[in-house]
Structure 1
């Protein structure tokens, strides 16, 4: 049972984009991204008749192989769904993944390709759903924290954006009804009913202005001018919301480096052949409460050790809290939560923090605390942060 769980955890880390602590995980990410880019490239090239005539067989082979990879990837994600949703039952975790946005995108990445074999009459409709594969590109966000700002802004400003969209829809419907009343008698074939002006109001409000439908009466033209002016302001509302969200998000992320930023001193210990710690797990060391192992270096690779991490001969451990000579693989920072800081009152697992930054210890008063996910941060807490530079992370 334990062996099966360990295998599933390793598979989960492999299919999770951005977990690069082992070569196999890095290779799988490269393979996944390459398959997606090849598939999209072949799909685009196949739309050119001359290329399709000359390289059609190659495009077909690329699609067959990459779609098969997408199907295998989906099966692996179903197999590891329990790792992604540990609080759910086995069936509940699989159901939650399948009906999540990621799960739906994964299904649409391969299933529409195979459905025409069972339902030939729907081949054209099924091809349309294959476009969903391009949404898999958003998984590259796991490598770049800056790209995640886009989704974070949309999530944080979702209520304001929905309000602006609602205002646009109301104004669009209202202007359509008004224009119908003003123009119906003059242009009964153009503004034939209340909804016939929706196209005009949409093109005017959103400043598209195709010119296929336009007012001809004096009042209609005057009203059109007013709507055009309102359209400029209405479109600016969601633009301003998103722009403000970007500024807030980048400012928030920069607080990790811009808050009280000082070097933190630690002590570095190298494990020798005859050391008592060699061959033991971290959890079996029985360290005092005020001593922590903040980082471990092995074969020029730095990781954050867990309780089940086995200490090897030659390992270099970083312990708090005596002076430590500065080493290129260590990047510890100290940050004090002053009054008004956005992290005050949040649990650690709720923090919006970089994927390459970890909280290794918290000092509250004179007491060191282990940064567990359910720990609520308070004003005056001092956070010791470990930032990854070139080293991998043992998650």
Structure 2
């Protein structure tokens, strides 16, 4: 739902009117919004098709001037009500209320409940006020936390639970990875900046250099900023090579832990099945003798 409400195909005018007449506007003023709306009629509803033109806040105006389709809101209300009712009923029938509240999944549901209330309280009027506009954006961002409900699948899939346990047991390795990565990102960000001092069109400051070093070390390479000097090329090679080494080593350790936990799980699972088969075979071998003794 969070993705659908951002798509213009799933939004309609708040106050449907006839298509606006075009008026000449100045293209020199970047603060003016020269966006025009083309509308099409779908089931007597005016659906907005905004054109991305100049103007820094055309996305904000999209949320102010339009609203999601009604059925999207209905689905949101029904699903949210279902989860709230489920949480309330679980709390009522749970014999140990304290243990229920200490469960991480239940804590997540309680958090999402208050997040949903905040989202419903923050209306579009907040966007019309520049002072509260960030609150509206924040409310929409935290609504994406609903996806965290997917972690309930850990109760159904043991493999996913093993993955979470592996990450929990690998906190030290992950911290080491992020700290080392941050240090080298700052180092190579400044290195590429000073390497490109002779080039006026690339890397205007060290912060852009840090952005470039992060993208290069993760082997993403957007290509928005690239070195143009020989020294810059050499710095790029060193940055990419170092990034691969930094990321590979902790990931290998984490993967080894996951393999160990998963192997132990499969071993215990196999032993449990073998015990059950032995019990079944023993029962099948003893049952005929017992029946014969009774008949005699």
TM beyond 0.5: yes
> Closer, same or farther in 2 for the Cα pair 1:115/1:179, shift >3 Å?
same
CA offset at residue 149 of structure 1? Answer: 1.6
SS for the counterpart of 2:266 is helix
8 Å contact from structure 2 (residues 101, 107) kept in 1: no
2:117 is matched with: 111
Of 144, 161, 179, which residue of structure 1 is paired with 2:174? 161
CA distance in 1 between partners of 2:259 and 2:227 (Å): 41
1:209-358 aligned within 5 A = 209-258=221-270, 261-262=274-275, 325=283
Gaps of 5+ in 2: 12-41, 46-68, 128-134, 286-296
Of 72, 89, 94, which residue of structure 2 is paired with 1:59? 72
2:162 is matched with: 149
> Closer, same or farther in 2 for the Cα pair 1:102/1:45, shift >3 Å?
closer
8 Å contact from structure 2 (residues 162, 261) kept in 1: yes
CA distance in 2 between partners of 1:224 and 1:156 (Å): 34
SS for the counterpart of 1:210 is coil
CA offset at residue 221 of structure 1? Answer: 1.6
> Closer, same or farther in 2 for the Cα pair 1:181/1:187, shift >3 Å?
same
Q: Is it true that 1:175 corresponds to 2:133 in the alignment?
A: no
Q: Is it true that 1:186 corresponds to 2:198 in the alignment?
A: yes
CA offset at residue 141 of structure 1? Answer: 1.7
* Structure with the largest fraction of helix: 2
TM-score, with length taken from structure 2: 0.61
SS for the counterpart of 2:223 is coil
| Residues 125-159 of structure 1, C-alpha deviations (whole Å, 9 max, x = no match) | 32222111111011022111122122111111121
1:361 is matched with: none
| Residues 319-348 of structure 1, C-alpha deviations (whole Å, 9 max, x = no match) | xxxx97259xxxxxxxxxxxxxxxxxxxxx
* Structure with the largest fraction of strand: 1
8 Å contact from structure 2 (residues 119, 143) kept in 1: yes
Gaps of 5+ in 1: 1-39, 87-92, 268-322, 328-395
2:148 is matched with: 135
8 Å contact from structure 1 (residues 112, 127) kept in 2: no
8 Å contact from structure 1 (residues 153, 242) kept in 2: yes
**Count of aligned pairs between the two proteins:** 223
CA distance in 1 between partners of 2:97 and 2:165 (Å): 20
8 Å contact from structure 2 (residues 154, 161) kept in 1: yes
| Residues 100-123 of structure 1, C-alpha deviations (whole Å, 9 max, x = no match) | 455434533x22332225984444
2:81 is matched with: 68
CA offset at residue 239 of structure 1? Answer: 3.0
CA offset at residue 66 of structure 1? Answer: 1.8
